[in-house]
Amino acid sequence: MAAAEIGVIGLGVMGANLALNIADNGYHVAVFNRTAARTEEFAAAAGSLGDRVTACATLEDFVAAIRPPRPVIIMVKAGEPVDQQIAALKPLLEANDIIIDAGNANFRDTMRRFTDLDGSGLTFIGMGVSGGEEGARHGPSIMVGGAEEAWNRVEPVLTAISAKYQGEPCAAWLGENGAGHFVKTIHNGIEYADMQMIAEVYGVMRDHLSMDAETIAAVFSAWSTGPLDSYLIDITADVLMVHDAATGRPIVDVIVDAAGQKGTGRWSVIESQMMGVPATAIEAAVAARSLSAMRAERAKAHKRFGVPGQQNRREGQLVVDDLEKALLAGKVAAYAQGFAVMAAASREFGWNLPMATIARIWRAGCIIRSRFLDEIATAFTETPDVENLVLSPAFSSMLVETDPYLRRIVAEAALNGLPVPALAGALGYFDTYRRERGTANLIQAQRDFFGAHGFERLDADGEHHGPWGGQG
């Protein structure tokens, strides 16, 4: 059998589908899984692609099956398992072989691994992959961090297996060391916010307007033909239409309202705080998932406080129309915050992240793919040095149009006790960002009062202290 051109370690859902994608694009791929039975199972199910797959029982056989210099993709659980896999590979690989970590790694771990492998003769790439099972099999969005020379060596296969948007590959080199995994982390933070805001408008329709799942599905289906056109809107319409075989009810009505999370959302919030960049919509989405997990406490609180009765209902369609525009405004905030965090990290780590390119490779394959991202790519192309996405001409106009609807929905939700934390976070962000003189002057006075931290004056340079009389 001919030597493999690339290898994949880890045959879980993502790794298996990525390997099949590679084979489907004409490359011979070697595969290995820690559990030999899984490797055998994968090989048996490869079907017509089997002649381009070499299933290996040992790591030694796996390395030997790949033609040097070897590109090896690791698709295992993030954290210690990646370090263990790298440690097992190192003695078997040769100079100029490339280890590609394609899992959801913390970018700080990725940067450490670059340092750990320095001088080993091996090349390392941290690669963010988005698109879930379907994307891995048929074309994900691929975000590469590492030496540009390493990207050039693997670019043909990665662009071949990536999603395509109007024929353009959704794969790109984004910068040195941890750049790819950082961008993937922020992608997931934006994803959290997007999903949360969708859930919030669903909640308004369900709990305020008393709409059933199928009626709400029709709303999302209609929205998918307009400015909200996206993968997440599409699948929302789809899942709302599915009925549970056991009960006959819409399946969303029998699913426990506790959302899981694997860490990337939290990391995006942590990094936004580390960079000193507000990401209020993303922060609210992560907090909402944590609150959703507190089911026992929420049940006690419900028993103690109840929920407000629904008042001041406007005609349903009026609210639905407002929800569409409010959701669009919230999306602008979430994406603006995410790109602002990436811009800060780019400066911090010297990555020179290409914002327009990031938006372009997110247009297909990834979970947040949408028409919206094409507009973002255009905005960053036309105004590459814009301080914030909301200041670009297209998005400024979009906010002027949608802001009143977001304001109305958040206000009505508050009056009726409907939780919309991400939408409210977006509104708070807009209102704070656009106000030239805010209220932090009082906070600085307080800080100086109790801690002598000093403050700046509007009418004089330098650091000043207040006449507090030694209080605090």
Is 191 annotated in the active site?
yes
- Rounded CA separation 73/6 (Å): 8
Question: Parallel, antiparallel, or unpaired for β 141-146 and 123-130?
Answer: antiparallel
Question: Which of the following is catalytic: 5, 176, 184, 331?
Answer: 184
Question: Which of the following is catalytic: 5, 191, 200, 324?
Answer: 191
Among residues 268, 260, 318, the alpha carbon closest in space to that of 289 is found at 260
Is 184 annotated in the active site?
yes
Rg over CA atoms, the chain = 25
- Rounded CA separation 238/218 (Å): 9
The answer to whether 420 and 410 are in contact (CB under 8 A) is: yes
Q: Is 389 left (phi over 0), alpha (psi -120 to 50) or beta?
A: alpha
> What tokens were used for 3?
């030597």
How many CB atoms lie under 10 A from the CB of residue 11? 24
- Rounded CA separation 86/74 (Å): 9
Among residues 60, 73, 62, 77, the alpha carbon closest in space to that of 12 is found at 77
3-class secondary structure for the chain?
A: CCCECEEEECCCHHHHHHHHHHHHCCCCEEEECCCHHHHHHHHHHCHHHHHHEEECCCHHHHHHHECCCCEEEECCCCCHHHHHHHHHHCCCCCCCCEEEECCCCCHHHHHHHHHHHCCCCCEEEEEEEECHHHHHHHCCEEEEEECHHHHHHHHHHHHHHCCEECCEECEEEEECCCHHHHHHHHHHHHHHHHHHHHHHHHHHHHHHCCCCHHHHHHHHHHHCCCCCCEHHHHHHHHHHHCECCCCCCEHHHHCCCCCCCCCHHHHHHHHHHHHCCCCHHHHHHHHHHHHHCCHHHHHHHHHHHCCCCCCCCCCHHHHHHHHHHHHHHHHHHHHHHHHHHHHHHHHHHCCCCCHHHHHHHCCCCCCCCEHHHHHHHHHHHHCCCCCCHHHCHHHHHHHHHHHHHHHHHHHHHHHCCCCCHHHHHHHHHHHHHCCCCCCHHHHHHHHHHHHCCCECCCCCCCCECCCCCCCC
Active site residues: 184, 191
